[in-house]
Amino acid sequence: MLAKYAVHVEDSRGRRHPEPAHPYRNDFQRDRDRVIHSRAFRRLEAKTQVFTRRYSDHFRNRLTHTIEVSQISRTIAAQLNLNIDLVEALALVHDIGHPPFGHAGEKALDAAMRDHGFSFDHNLHALRIVEDFEIRYAAFRGLNLTFEVREGIIKHSHDYDAADHPELAEYLLDLRPPLEAQLIDLTDEIAYDTADLDDGYEARLLTVDQIAGGVSIFDRSLREVQLLYPNAPEKLLFNEVVKRVFDTLVGDLITNTRQRLDDTGADSLDAIRCHPGRMAAFSAPIEKERRALKDFLYENLYFSPALEGEKEDAERIVGELFAHWMEEPNDLPRSYREKAAHEPLPRVICDYIAGMTDPFIYQQYEKYCRD
């Protein structure tokens, strides 16, 4: 039974191009399936999350991270009686706009665009992908997703100002997104905070003592686990601790969001949309610990000397390729040369680079930028 504040598929604002109802799938289920079958979704398998394949094939990539976000999101949505089909579609599409090389690639691409008076935003790029770049249907361009999924793509993690983004006016920028979309940013945080601890430990860039010394939620769980399993190998102790950190974050998000709904008396989707702030949230004590965990990862993993070389390589490759195609646009594929006749060249180059996988951008760099 869906809660009154959930998004009910029969109340959807529909698709940009109307389509007949499917005989055995609702509209949000169809959106989920269209995302899964898209080329952009498949490319996530070869895009960096934190570690490139130079370290190991065991570490998360954008695709496996996305699957983990989807699993967490479905679990929480079920507990809050939200629309699981919509939540799953939003979780699966939430990272589809990311370029190669993780956040280093995004930083470099944005910097290159700003040199020409533009910018790069992976949420807005994801909208361009599902609205225009995916070519699968004879009747329309893009995936023709429902309004609710398109809205969630741009609003799940950021509030855009209508004055700065008039092109997004249709997406109710003066209102909060539904709870189904609000969840995604928080489940994304849970997924990568815990997964990056795991991958950082596996890469031997983080130690148990180091994490315990800097992350109170980890230290507290470690003490519990050591009492329960005094003779367990360190790796299994570590696994048990991460599981408890994970459960603490998920459980708190469910409990605190439910309490906030009760406290405000929100009993409709309109009430969620009109609330002054986002309703989905961690409790204050857990939010403080989550931020401490995130700060620890930035200081000790994301900006660690061990990863600095790869980040520098990523930024150099993106920057030099962008500059090359600005000077030599005839080296672009024909379809992108044709787009450049109607769109600004920097935007066309950005679109091309953002869609690349890590292996493909390396190939292009070798082809065009190696002496």
CATH of the domain at 245: 1.10.3210.10
Lowest mean pLDDT among 162-166, 209-213, 348-352: 162-166
pLDDT at 48: 86
Assess whether pLDDT exceeds 80 at residue 134.
yes
Is 282 contained in some domain? Answer: yes
- pLDDT-derived band at 320 (thresholds 50, 70, 90) equals very high
- pLDDT-derived band at 127 (thresholds 50, 70, 90) equals very high
Q: What is the mean pLDDT of the chain?
A: 95
CA distances from 184 to 14, 88, 99, 253 (A): 21, 9, 19, 12
CA distance 102 to 47: 7
Is 301 contained in some domain? Answer: yes
CA 57, 58, 64, 69 torsion-angle sign = negative
Task: State mean pLDDT over 216-237.
Answer: 96
Q: In this structure, are residues 249 and 190 in contact, taking their beta carbons and an 8 Å threshold?
A: yes
Lowest mean pLDDT among 65-69, 163-167, 306-310: 306-310
Is 315 contained in some domain? Answer: no
Calculate what percentage of the chain has a pLDDT beyond 90: 92
Is 325 contained in some domain? Answer: no
Task: State mean pLDDT over 80-103.
Answer: 96
Is 118 contained in some domain? Answer: yes
> Containing domain of residue 200, as a range?
9-307
Q: Which residues contact 131 (CB under 8 A, 6 or more apart)?
A: 16, 141, 142, 143, 150
Higher pLDDT, 51 or 231: 231
Is 278 contained in some domain? Answer: yes
pLDDT digits (tens, 9 = 90+) for 249-295: 999 999 999 999 999 999 999 999 999 999 999 999 999 999 999 99
Task: State mean pLDDT over 61-86.
Answer: 97
pLDDT at 73: 98
pLDDT at 53: 64
Is 96 contained in some domain? Answer: yes
Q: How many domains does the chain have?
A: 1
CA distance 156 to 55: 31
Is 342 contained in some domain? Answer: no
pLDDT at 58: 78
Assess whether pLDDT exceeds 80 at residue 216.
yes
Task: State mean pLDDT over 86-110.
Answer: 95
pLDDT at 54: 66
Task: State mean pLDDT over 56-66.
Answer: 87
Query: Which pTM value belongs to this model?
Result: 0.95
Lowest mean pLDDT among 53-67, 199-213, 214-228, 322-336: 53-67
